[in-house]
Amino acid sequence: MVAIAAILAALAVREHAAIKRHERHTEAVTVMGELFNATAAYYHERRPSFTGDGAEAPHRCPHPLGQPAGGETGFTPPLDVVCRDADGGACTPGGEDVAGAYPLSAWTEHPMWIALGFVQTTPHPHHYNLVTHNSNPDEHGVCRFTVVVRGDDEHDACNEFRREGVATAEGVVAGPLQACPEALSR
């Protein structure tokens, strides 16, 4: 009887871990989609060129101040903030003196996150990065961008999710979601 209970308990623990892993994967794909769509929307917004002739500025993806050719947010929170060590395995923006805590200003003071209106204010298990490359071959503007979502759970083989996109006057072309097969099969 004790052996049966032990086997059932072991199966329950394993199933619980699989459910938590699936929740993290779902969150990663969901947030990646939000970032991808926000970047595409930002690109398509009309902006004045301020040249005095009424022309529009070339369409661009978000970029650091003074770097219209593009840039990178860097992982937010930084990768040295270890989410898996925090309570509940989640990083906490605005938290202090606890594992997984980092300043909320990592979101609120970065020009690329500000441009997208993207900020994490609740605990989350991932690190986020946006890389953009802007060019202007046709006066409209072209943007190539990559959204990366990375976890830091060493027990999860699916720790990185990536999607690339190209935005042009004709629209946005999304590349395939790049992640491990386990995350893509659910």
Collapsed DSSP state (helix, strand, coil) of residue 76 = strand
Q: Where are the alpha helices (DSSP H) in 45-144?
A: 105-108, 111-116
Contact yes or no for 163/150 (Cβ under 8 A): no
Alpha helices (H) in 45-124, listed in sequence order: 105-108, 111-116
Q: What are phi and psi of 58, to 5 degrees?
A: -60, 145
Q: What is the pLDDT of residues 112-161, one digit of tens each?
A: 999 999 999 999 999 999 999 999 877 788 999 999 999 988 878 788 99
pLDDT digits (tens, 9 = 90+) for 9-59: 666 667 766 777 788 888 999 999 999 999 999 998 876 666 666 566 678
How far is 132 from 144, CA to CA, in rounded Å? 6
- Kindly report, residue by residue over 66-107, the tens digit of the pLDDT: 898 999 999 999 999 999 899 888 999 997 888 999 999 999
Which pLDDT belongs to residue 184? 63
Residue 150 in tokens: 């990375």
Token pair recorded at residue 120: 């994490």
**Tell me, what's the pLDDT at 49?**
60
Q: Which helix (H) or strand (E) holds 37?
A: helix 2-44
